[in-house]
Structure 1
Amino acid sequence: MSVEEKAYKPEDLTRLFVERANKGDAAGVAELYEEEAVIAFPPGQLTVGRDAIRTLWERALASGPHFEPEPPLPTLISGDIALTSTPPKDGAGARAQVVRRQPDGTWLRVLDQPEFVSPSN
């Protein structure tokens, strides 16, 4: 881990993602994930492990996309595991992440579903 800000609450991860992604900081984004984390992206595929996640974000951020902060939905916490989610501004589907408290008290993403479309859409 670098000396970048860490997530001390599960909800911090979404804010830190937006800040780092908007700077084009793929390595910083990857640091928000555990070493063996899994992202359900690209669509229909899985990206596994922090190194692969960094590579994925290097490609995705190369075109300079801009991410807007999204207000978190209520976080569900059970011990050292939490489910975080945000509704996208377009109202289509949702984003969800399973995060885990680390030994130092910070939180990292374990499973990331960037977006899924609800059955009604």
Structure 2
Amino acid sequence: MSQNTPSEHTDVAREPEDLSRLFLRRVNAGDVDGLVALYESDAVLATPDGGEVRGEAGIRAFYAALVASAPRFAPGEQHPALRVGDLALTSTRLPGGAGATAEVARQQPDGTWRWILDRPNVL
């Protein structure tokens, strides 16, 4: 989907580990709306320059700029989520030793999962 096309997301994260799979599919498709849908409305996303963006508008602007260059992301080695109650720590080792991700997801009232904190590269 293009970033200008409203997306319908019938494929949702039923488990916290699903978020990474959905992220890869949506970022490689340039689906900005789909990427934003992976986050809670007040989520915080760390940026490569050491800053952060907050909320839907900030996350949308960040991903719109990212997908404008049509990047291709490859899957990494995903670790099983660590869970406590309705929170889960997700992480993925990036391909080629390029670092790792760390995210906190929260289970939603409908049973699905969304990220509330995202650090795309912890190294």
Q: TM-score, normalised by structure 1?
A: 0.91
**Greater helix fraction, Structure 1 or Structure 2:** 2
> What SS does the aligned partner of 1:66 have?
coil
Q: TM-score, normalised by structure 2?
A: 0.90
CA distance in 2, matches of 1:20, 1:3: 10
Percent identity reads: 46
- Runs of 4+ in structure 1 displaced over 6 angstroms? none
Structure 1 segment 13-24 matched on structure 2, within 5 A: 13-24=19-30
Q: Give the equivalent residue in structure 2 for 1:80.
A: 86
Aligned-residue CA RMSD (Å): 1.3
The one-letter code sitting in structure 1 at the alignment partner of 2:102 is A
5+ long unaligned stretches in structure 1: none
In the TM superposition, residue 4 of structure 1 has moved relative to its aligned partner by 3.2
5+ long unaligned stretches in structure 2: 1-6
| 8 A Cα contact 2:19 2:113, kept in partner | yes
CA distance in 2, matches of 1:71, 1:105: 25
Cα deviation, 1:38-89, whole Å, max 9, x if unaligned, reads 0111421010001210111000000100011223112100010000000011
CA distance in 1, matches of 2:96, 2:49: 18
The one-letter code sitting in structure 2 at the alignment partner of 1:4 is T
In the TM superposition, residue 33 of structure 1 has moved relative to its aligned partner by 0.2
In the TM superposition, residue 93 of structure 1 has moved relative to its aligned partner by 2.7
CA distance in 2, matches of 1:20, 1:92: 21
Q: Give the equivalent residue in structure 2 for 1:52.
A: 58
| 8 A Cα contact 2:77 2:95, kept in partner | no
The one-letter code sitting in structure 1 at the alignment partner of 2:79 is L
Structure 1 range deviating more: 83-92 or 102-111: 83-92
In the TM superposition, residue 2 of structure 1 has moved relative to its aligned partner by 3.9
The one-letter code sitting in structure 2 at the alignment partner of 1:32 is L
